[in-house]
Amino acid sequence: MAPFNIKTCARPNILALEPYRCARDDYKDDGTNILLDANENAYGPSLSSLSSTNFNSLHRYPDPHQASLKQALCNLRTTHAHTSRTLTPENCFVGVGSDEAIDALLRCFCVPGIDRILVCPPTYGMYSVSAHINDVGLIKVPLLPAPSFALDTSSIISTLSTSPNIKLAYFCSPGNPTGSLLAKSDIAAILGHETWNGVVVVDEAYIDFAPDEASLAEWVTEWPNLVVMQTLSKGFGMAGIRLGAVFASPEIATLLNNMKAPYNISTPTAALASLALSDAGLAVMRAHRTKIVEQRDRLVRELPKIEGVGRLRGGEMSNFLLFEMLDKDGKPDNVTALAVYERLAEAKGVVVRFRGKEHGCLGCLRITVGTEEETTRLLEALAKTLAEVHGQGGPEEDEEKKETEANDVIA
């Protein structure tokens, strides 16, 4: 027998890693569930037609540079709302979702075992997971309390002044799970830090649900220490092609492009992304966005009318909302929220995301905005489920409750 021992052979930080939990880890699409947990675009991809797509070249390696795709992304984000300068493909890196960019930035700027990153919880979990994988330390400066979930700018600036070896600061705007857009003035204050030699990374995965011209992407032409990440997964409904983009100074973009795998963007991904970014694709995206915003506004109006639903704890700048679930005494409560989350999925086929364990999110569920039909089903199911959890359901609800609990015991 070979003397192989994985516990002494593998890197200690990988052995200790707690992997990122995807939405599909808990509940999958069985054909009857409505999935309001992963912030996907319920109206589908931003494609008007596939008739112009030609995949006859799949026997050839894809374009390693993707200049035309980068130009389309630059055209979309050059609004001249923040600067008179214009984005060019030299400002761009494209990767396999935003996650490749998160990891690439860590590998580019952080020395394992020495350097650190700064994050502001509650926020996207992959910043921490990628840091752990790369043996990079983590500094946390929480966002200001709900409902603003704004950056604690003075604490961030103080931390960057006094804590050594922080190379990257990851900020999510609009935030996940907060749905709040970060103030441009706060970002500017951190970018202008007088002594910190590091990079500000603004993750704009949900920017297409915020007001027009909210993106700071073109601002990278003014600030050499700014990186803006985006994706086609959310607003464009193209999660399945895994296409992310980074806007940065030409110097940073060059480093990221030098590091990437030779053909990291597949030919089908590039073709579908180009269709989504065409005039026809943009028209589809904007029509879908209008419908999502209508249902988002409906949820903001209707959810607080349900007994047992508490306050909206974040912003309204994304395709999801963060709401409290209340116990019988009217207080936000994780036990109640977790029970509602499980019963919604297992008894009603409505899957949302429990976020009560994240900083400042006590008793909260994150609810993705769905179609009109999905929203109706969610509202009805949530009202019934909260009544059941509070022990106020009628005979039909009580019977369903007993059956569900019995099934849980058997499982």
The pLDDT, as a whole number, for residue 13 is 77
195-221 as b/e: b if 16+ CB within 10 A: ebebbbbbbbbbbbbbeeebbbbbbbb
| Amino acid identity, position 120 | C
Question: Model confidence at 407, in pLDDT bands (50, 70, 90)?
Answer: very low
pLDDT for residue 406? 36
Q: What average pLDDT does range 350-359 have in this prediction?
A: 96
pLDDT the model gives residue 409? 35
196 and 220 together in one domain: yes
CATH number of the CATH domain containing 271: 3.40.640.10
Please report whether residue 308 resides in a domain.
yes
For the chain, give the percent of residues with pLDDT over 90. Answer: 80
pLDDT of residue 3: 77
Judge if 330 and 255 occupy the same domain.
no
Confidence check: pLDDT of 410 > 60: no
Residue 60 maps to a domain: no
**Considering the domain boundaries, does residue 246 fall inside one?**
yes
Report pLDDT for 31.
65
Per-residue confidence band for 5, with pLDDT thresholds at 50, 70 and 90: confident
Q: Are residues 93 and 235 in the same domain?
A: yes
Indicate the Cα dihedral angle 104, 110, 112, 116, nearest 10°: -120
Pair (216, 231) in one structural domain: yes
The mean-pLDDT minimum among 103-117, 241-255, 356-370, 388-402 falls in 388-402
| 242 and 370 co-located in one domain | no
**Other Cβ atoms within 10 Å of 36 Cβ, number:** 26
- Higher-confidence residue of 103 and 31: namely 103
Domain boundary among 217, 249, 277: 277
Q: Are 102 and 187 within one domain?
A: yes
User: What average pLDDT does this structure show over 293-308?
Assistant: 97
pLDDT for the residue numbered 2? 72
Q: Which domain holds residue 344?
A: 12-41+282-396
Q: pLDDT band for position 408 (50/70/90)?
A: very low
Question: 392 pLDDT band (50/70/90 cuts)?
Answer: low
Across the range 325-354, mean pLDDT stands at 96
Report residue 411's pLDDT band, with 50, 70 and 90 as the boundaries: very low
Q: What is the pLDDT of residues 119-141, one digit of tens each?
A: 999 999 999 999 999 999 999 99
Asked which of 258, 277, 296 is the last residue of a domain, the reply is: 277
CATH of the domain at 29: 3.90.1150.10
Residues 392 and 286 in one domain: yes
Any domain includes 58: no
Confidence of residue 360 (pLDDT cuts 50, 70, 90): very high
Among 122-126, 300-304, 323-327, 405-409, which stretch is predicted with the lowest mean pLDDT? 405-409
On whether residue 144 sits in a domain, the answer given is: yes
Query: Residue 403 pLDDT more than 90?
Result: no
**Is pLDDT above 90 for 207?**
yes
Q: Is the pLDDT of residue 241 over 70?
A: yes
405 has a pLDDT exceeding 50: no
Mean predicted confidence (pLDDT) in 30-46: 84
Please say if the pLDDT value at position 395 is more than 50. no
Per-position DSSP letters for 341-393, written without gaps between them: HHHHHHHH-EE-EE-TTSTT-TTEEEEE---HHHHHHHHHHHHHHHHHHTT--
